[in-house]
Structures are given as C-alpha cells and as structure tokens.
Structure 1
Amino acid sequence: MHHISQDMQNCIDECLRCHSTCLSMAMSHCLEKGGQHVEPSHFRLMMACAEICQTSANFMLMGSELHKRTCAVCAEVCEECARNCEQVGDMQECVDACRRCAESCRNMAA
C-alpha cells in the first residue's frame, strides 16, 4: 500500500466533498429551482465537476503517478464551476466547495 501524505489526504477529502456537493446540489437544488439552474451548459458543468473530483480522488487513492494531471484538470473545472454557480446565484455551498477543491488540487498538481 502506498503512503498518503496529509496534504494528499486533505485533497482527497476536498475532492470527495466537492463531488458530493455538486452532485447533490444539481440533483436537488437545481432541479427544484428550474430556470437558469437547469440550463444545459450549467447542469453539464456541475456533472463534469462532480466526475473529475471523484476521478481525481480515485487517482490519488490508488497511488497513480498521473494524479498531478487529474488534479490540474480538476482545479480548472472546479474554478469554472464556481464562477458559473456564482453567476447563476443562490449556490454558495457549491461555489465554496469548488473553490476549496480547486485550491487543494492546484497545490497537489504543483
């Protein structure tokens, strides 16, 4: 079994938290709100964010040397998702989770 540093464990935790937040907000909050919240590009971005967060966490958990690449992409997608959720409005929980994950993934990718 490979060693997971505290920084990596923190990043895994942020990725899993962001995955959970984006998925649950899309499926409950956005679907219930309607309007801009279910606009296809917004909804797809939230789903993409949830997926890349889970993938990045999985790459770190399995000890893949490619985790730096997935983390770099994850940071980019999370930043875009945070901006988009901020524009749509009434999604601060998602904005915050995405920004925390983006910062943690940027550090892990460095």
Structure 2
Amino acid sequence: MSSHTHDMQACIAACLDCYQTCLSTALHHCLEAGGRHTEPDHMRLMMACAEMCRASAHIMLTGSSVHRQSCGACAEICSACADDCERVGDMDACVAACRACAETCRAMAA
C-alpha cells in the first residue's frame, strides 16, 4: 500500500470519527447540557462540521481528485469547530476529534 493510500485511509478514518463525534456530542451532550452548549451558532457549526467530515470521507472514497478541495474546506471547518467547542467547554472529545481531522485533512489538501 502506497504512503498516499495509507494517508488517505487515515484521513477517511479521522473524518468519519469526527463526523460521529460531532453529531453524537451535539445531539446528546450539548442538548442535554443546555446553556452555551445550545447556542444556535454553536449547534450550526457542529452540524456543519459533522456534515463536512461525512462529505469529505465520501469524496475520498470515490477516488475523485476534488478531495483536495473538500479536505481543505473540512480542515477549516474542523478548526473552527474545535475552537468553538473549546470556548463552550467540557467538550474535550469533540475538540480532539476536530483537531485530529483538521490535521489529516490539511495534509490531504496540500
């Protein structure tokens, strides 16, 4: 397996992990915690992040060369989501998943 294929598989895994983590955290932890966790902009960003991660994984799985663009956008959204989850607090798993995904996506977009 080439390094590029291995890197892409790692990025797909990071995207799917972030998708699952953001979606699950938003719909369970955030909704149950309330307060800052349910601010409209925070919830929208988490949903956008989850969907962008899912879409990026999908595009990489198709083998299309446009994955560079989707991964670039995904890295930006994941970084923004990580920062916002850090601001809200008590969301360490989400912050970690977003940062890991942003890092692998940034590398795939390069």
Q: Note whether the superposition's TM-score is higher than 0.5.
A: yes
Q: CA deviation at 1:66?
A: 0.5
In 2: Cα distance, 1:23 partner to 1:56 partner = 15
User: Could you say which residue in structure 1 is the equivalent of 2:74?
Assistant: 74
- Structure-to-structure mapping, 1:42-57, within 5 angstroms: 42-57=42-57
2:88 is matched with 88
Matched with 1:63 is: 63
Displacement of 1:27 after TM fit?
0.3
Q: Report Cα offsets for 1:28-64 as digits up to 9, x if no partner.
A: 0000000000000000000000000000000000011
Q: Secondary structure at the match of 1:64?
A: coil
Instruction: State the TM-score, normalizing by the size of structure 1.
Output: 0.96
Q: CA-atom RMSD, angstroms? A: 0.7
- Secondary structure at 1:65's aligned position in 2? coil
The alignment of Structure 1 onto Structure 2 pairs a total of residues equal to 107
Quote the residue 1:97 is aligned against: 97
Q: Distance in 2 between matches of 1:43 and 1:31?
A: 9
Runs of 4+ in structure 1 deviating by more than 2 angstroms, as ranges, are none
Tell me how far apart the structure 2 counterparts of residues 76 and 48 of structure 1 sit (CA, whole Å).
11
Deviation at 1:99, TM superposition (A): 0.1
Equivalent residues in 2 for 1:1-40 (5 A)? Answer: 5-40=5-40
How far apart are the structure 2 equivalents of 1:21 and 1:15? 10
**How far apart are the structure 1 equivalents of 2:64 and 2:47?**
23
Percent identity between the two aligned chains: 61
